[in-house]
Structure 1
Amino acid sequence: MATTTFPSRDDFAALLNESLGGENEAFEGKVVKGTVTGIENDLAVIDVGLKSEGRVPLREFAAPGQKADLKVGDEVEVYVDRVENSAGEAMLSRDRARREAAWDKLEKEFEAGNRVEGVIFGRVKGGFTVDLGGAVAFLPGSQVDIRPVRDVQPLMDLPQPFQILKMDRRRGNIVVSRRAILEETRAEQRSGLIQSLAEGQVIEGVVKNITDYGAFVDLGGIDGLLHVTDVSYKRVNHPSEVLNIGDTVKVQIIRINKDTQRISLGMKQLESDPWEGAAAKYPIDGTFRGRVTNITEYGAFVELEPGIEGLVHVSEMSWTKKNVHPGKIVSTSQEVDVKVLEVDQEKRRISLGLKQAQSNPWEAFAAAHPVGSVVEGEVKNATEFGLFVGLEGDVDGMVHMSDIAWGVSGEEALALHHKGETVTAQVLDVDVEKERISLGIKQLENGGGASAGAGGAPSVGGVKKGEVVTVVVRAVQDAGLDVQVGDDGVSGFLKRGDLGRDRDEQRPERFQVGQKFDAMVTGFDRSKKPNFSIKAMQIAEEKQAVAQYGSSDSGASLGDILGAALKEAQAGKTSKKK
């Protein structure tokens, strides 16, 4: 009797694998055709000729944003992942089938440099996902459009062309660009449109974007730049003051660069130029009212009319406020009166003066307080050479330390008064051009204890304050002259600054020992020695001549007045000799 031998468990498994191996090799990992045999809930039952059917979600047969159009009997392509799973069913995938077919097609299109069609269907970090007929690609945010797009929703679920930038099938990576398609199309449109445009042409456009330096205007497929300086003749700090996105504007083409395809536009060129005839309209020394439009460290801009602005330099803003920021003198939008100082019509510049449109406080002070008059003011500051005293009209006068008190000078004299103290002083000199007022406090004292002479003037050794005497030079020093009245009269000192009104005359070296000349007694120091001054004598003689022989206001020059006085003085000397 023959013996029956049954295969072992291992042998049985080997035989089973052998019997199924051919089927696995023929189907697994490949795209095959199958027939829809049924639709159960959200699944499609598909027969691909295996021992068992497979089930595929219906959504895999639908395009993004749409429903699946599938019915029993339809023939479809699916990817066989496994011939049989643990449940005995074939594992099929429509997405994988579409992906494999899409990759084959996309690789050919990428090699040829062709565009591909896709649909944006999702948002991921840094960009968006695009369905390219089954293969999923990445669309970076920077490649969505030529300019940043705030809302991508209108572009989603919409079939549109893309350009493949990079693809790696092994890693499953595809990077696409929508911007490249737009730039290519735009370049074609720009090239054709630029050929139809000409410099000087007036055209309408739509404001598409606004920046700090200007606005981009769409001219119908190509953008031109409207620079902020070409928006209007009047000052425009930011384009948004005049323009809004979406505005339709009429512009003139200023320049076209066909190499770079850049177009420069202008709006103000369509307006009349306010600078034409500006020199005649705003003559020098003319006073006009304007509005402050901008304030800088070096001055303030004042608009005389829309499109015409002038600069008030910081040095021309105030007679008395020096080294002060313009913003502390005027404010933006303030209306002010200004005087035209200079006009350059070619460079479109007008220099204006704010202080010139106001009365000069130095002239007003000189008219109200002639030399010799007495004023009162508050000590504003003390320096190493004297005191500054605040006077009416917001001007300051200076009391030199040598004019503070008789017989006292330097720090000792400065210590006699303090900041904030009200003092009374005599006006010694007013220089309107240099804006200087010289004051003296000691001149109001009684010569440091000298006795009063005729008329109440202090007197020492036979000479009195205000008297003109003949002195003899005893010694020449750097600080001035040591002089004596006559041959045996009282001695005193004549300071360098009192040797004459002009600086050239204030040189001690031009005098010699033994030389005689006339000088005025201006006062006495605490040791009762007289102080002399040629400068004071010259000022007094000039005032006397003006009073006696007429004023320059009546038409006579100062030379005529002094000449007449000199002739009479000479005639008087001649008659005395006779």
Structure 2
Amino acid sequence: MSEDLREMLTDAAVREGDVVTGEVTAVDENGVTVALSHGFEGHIAPQELSAVPGTNPTEVTSVGSQITAVVVKVDMESGQVTLSKRRAEQASAWNRMQELLASGEPIEVEIRDVVKGGLVADVGVRAFIPASLVDRRFVENLDEFKGKTLRAKVVEVDPEKNKLILSRRALLEEETEAKAKALMEELKPGDVIEGTVQRLTDFGAFVDIGGADGLVHISELSFSHVNHPSEVVHEGDRVKVRVLRVDPEAGRISLSIKAALPEPWEEHANDYQPGDVVQGVVKRVVDFGAFVELQPGLEGLVHVSQISNEHVAHASDVLQPGQEVTVRVLSVDPERRRISLSMREPGPSRSENTGSNRRRERRPVERQDDSGTGATLGDLFGDLFK
């Protein structure tokens, strides 16, 4: 090394530990070249560019960009200045993370890598978002987040263990709660709105109505009897619902799909007239008969006496739920919302075709005399009336 170069390095006061800023002049797989003051060049190795191991230099910076780094080593013989962007950011990064943890303020991070169990980002130090804290719901494929910028909250900071945990889920839940609170203040019973089915349970379906989830109880899914919500809706379905109740204190919204539909009696009751023969499905069987669905939510009763021309002791002896039947409309009462149906064949019953109800012929009463010959009452007592 020449004396002139040694003097330049000494005069420039470029020393180990200094934080310097320069312009990026080259970027390749071997690292980044930086033009420093006084005409010196610095070099940043790939592993010193980011807190995330294996980061490609082109993902961090580009030619013409300004970059700040700490001086790691100055080689007086070659004039080479070794720099580290990663070390320059670490100290201030940990301080900033501590501040964000205390304030609860969210941070934007770019996802650099997907590893087993979560996502990795570089915020000056390595930040980790566990899979369970990525979303409010389970995410099957985390690869979809690589390269994306996410907003998250700092939930754990431990510089000694080089541990920084972020949570996107915590931020989403806070935002959801805020939206839900605002929505509950606007919603009123009777409002009809659209929503998306989020999840199903045995007792109903939860529907997202724009920032808050409301419950559609299984009894409010359809005018027809429903055994399980999956018979009517599926996750992801867009549905129209009517607001039944809003309880801001409990954070509950009760919804109804059924109440948002046209009322079956108003829509179809006039479609049926006495004497009409129609098809239906047996929905319920009770002691006194069977309820037959003619339209979703529109049922008529076949009384046990109207099930057959033969005597039927119990409706369940003849009919079962789910059975398709042909019925004849006997009467329609819109005010009481009742339809009487019959499955009996028209015409006389079997008993009317037997001799049991015929008028019997009157025949004279015969008596046997002692001789065994037949004699009428007139023959025996006729002389008494002369």
Map residues 446-485 of structure 1 onto 2, 5 A cutoff.
none
Q: Which residue of 2 aligns with 1:94?
A: 85
- The answer as to 2:200 corresponding to 1:211 is yes
CA 128–288 in structure 1, closer or farther in 2 if over 3 Å, else same: same
Percentage of matched positions with identical amino acids: 30
Aligned to 1:507: none
1:43 aligns with 2:31: yes
Instruction: After TM superposition, give the deviation of residue 182 of structure 1 in Å.
Output: 1.7
TM-score w.r.t. the length of structure 2 is: 0.62
- Name the CA distance, whole Å, in 1 between partners of 2:214 and 2:279: 35
Which of 68, 74, 77 is 2:69 aligned to?
77
Distance 1:79 1:293 in 2: 85
Aligned-partner Cα distance in 2 for 1:103–1:314 = 80
Query: What is the CA RMSD across the aligned residues, in angstroms?
Result: 5.5
Q: How does 1:398-437 map to 2 (within 5 A)?
A: none
Distance 1:105 1:547 in 2: 115
User: Does the 8 Å contact 2:286/2:315 carry over to 1?
Assistant: no
In the alignment, structure 1 segments of 5+ residues that lack a partner are: 1-25, 371-542, 550-568
The 8 Å contact of residues 78 and 92 in structure 1, kept in 2 or not, is answered as yes
Q: Paired residue for 1:548?
A: 362
Q: 1:330 to 1:168 in 2, by over 3 A?
A: same
Distance 1:142 1:350 in 2: 55
TM-score, normalised via structure 1 length: 0.44
Q: Which secondary structure state, in structure 1, belongs to the residue aligned with residue 148 of structure 2?
A: coil
- Residue 209 of structure 1, CA deviation: 2.7
C-alpha displacement at 1:197, in angstroms? 1.9
2:113 to 99, 112, 122: 122
State the distance in 1 between where 2:135 and 2:342 align: 53
Residue in structure 2 matched with residue 253 of structure 1 by the alignment = 243
In structure 2, relative to structure 1, the CA distance for the partners of 1:57 and 1:295 (3 Å cut) is farther
Q: 1:303 offset after TM fit, Å?
A: 0.5
Aligned counterpart, 2:252? 262
Assess if the C-alpha contact under 8 Å between 2:292 and 2:299 holds in 1.
Answer: yes
* CA contact 1:79–1:96 (8 Å) conserved in 2: no
Shift of 1:188: 2.0
User: In the TM superposition, what is the alpha-carbon distance from 1:96 to its structure 2 partner?
Assistant: 4.1
Which residue does 2:160 correspond to in 1? 170
Instruction: Decide whether the 8 Å contact of 1:290 with 1:302 is kept in 2.
Output: no
CA displacement 1:282-320 (0-9 Å, x = unmatched):
99x999644125478999652033312357799997768
Aligned residue pairs total 339
What letter corresponds to residue 112 of structure 1 in structure 2?
A: S
Conservation of the 8 A alpha-carbon contact between 1:215 and 1:226:
yes
Q: 1:138 to 1:358 in 2, by over 3 A?
A: farther
Q: Which amino acid aligns with 2:61?
A: D
1:106-159 residue CA offsets vs partner (Å, 9 max, x unmatched): 12221333322222233233x422325122233233322233445555544233
**Deviations 1:40-99, CA, capped at 9 Å, x for gaps:** 762235799xxxx9853357547978644355996632374x899xxxx98764334433
Distance in 1 between residues matched to 2:199 and 2:261, nearest whole Å = 22
Q: How does 1:138-153 map to 2 (within 5 A)?
A: 138-149=128-139, 152=142
- Report the residue type matching 1:158 in the other structure: K
Gaps of 5+ in 2: 1-14, 364-376
Q: Could you say if the C-alpha distance between residues 262 and 116 of structure 1 is closer, same or farther in structure 2, counting changes exceeding 3 Å?
A: same
Is 1:197 the counterpart of 2:187? The answer is yes
Secondary structure (helix, strand or coil) at the match of 1:120 reads strand
Which secondary structure does the structure 2 equivalent of 1:134 belong to?
coil
Deviation by residue 1:388-421 (Cα, 9 ceiling, x = unmatched) = xxxxxxxxxxxxxxxxxxxxxxxxxxxxxxxxxx
1:197 maps to a residue whose letter is: L
CA shift for structure 1 position 256:
0.9
Q: Please give the secondary structure, in 1, of the residue aligned with 2:113.
A: strand
Residues 69, 83 of structure 2: 8 Å contact kept? no
State the structure with bigger RCO (CA 8 A, min sep 6), 1 or 2.
2
Listed one character per residue, the Cα deviations across residues 305-347 of structure 1 (whole Å, up to 9, x for unaligned) are: 3312357799997768999977x85583623337889x9x98x
- Alpha-carbon offset, residue 162 of structure 1: 1.0
Which of 317, 326, 342 is the matching residue for 1:336?
326
Matched, 1:291 2:280: yes
> Are positions 1:109 and 2:100 aligned together?
yes
- From the superposition, tell whether residues 293 and 92 of structure 1 become closer, same or farther in structure 2 (CA, over 3 Å): farther
Pick from 162, 168, 173 the counterpart of residue 183 of structure 1.
173
In structure 1, the partner of 2:7 is: none
d(CA) in 1 for partners of 2:71, 2:290: 78
**Corresponding residue to 2:216 among 218, 221, 226:** 226
Specify the SS of the correspondent of 1:166: strand
What CA distance in whole angstroms lies between the structure 1 residues aligned with 2:65 and 2:206?
A: 58
Partners of 1:106 and 1:314 in 2: how far apart?
A: 76
Contact 2:69/2:86 (<8 A) preserved: no
Taking the TM superposition and a 5 Å limit, the aligned residue runs for 1:503-522 are: none
Give the structure with higher Rg (CA). Answer: 1
Q: 1:315 to 1:115 in 2, by over 3 A?
A: farther
Look up the match of 1:387.
none
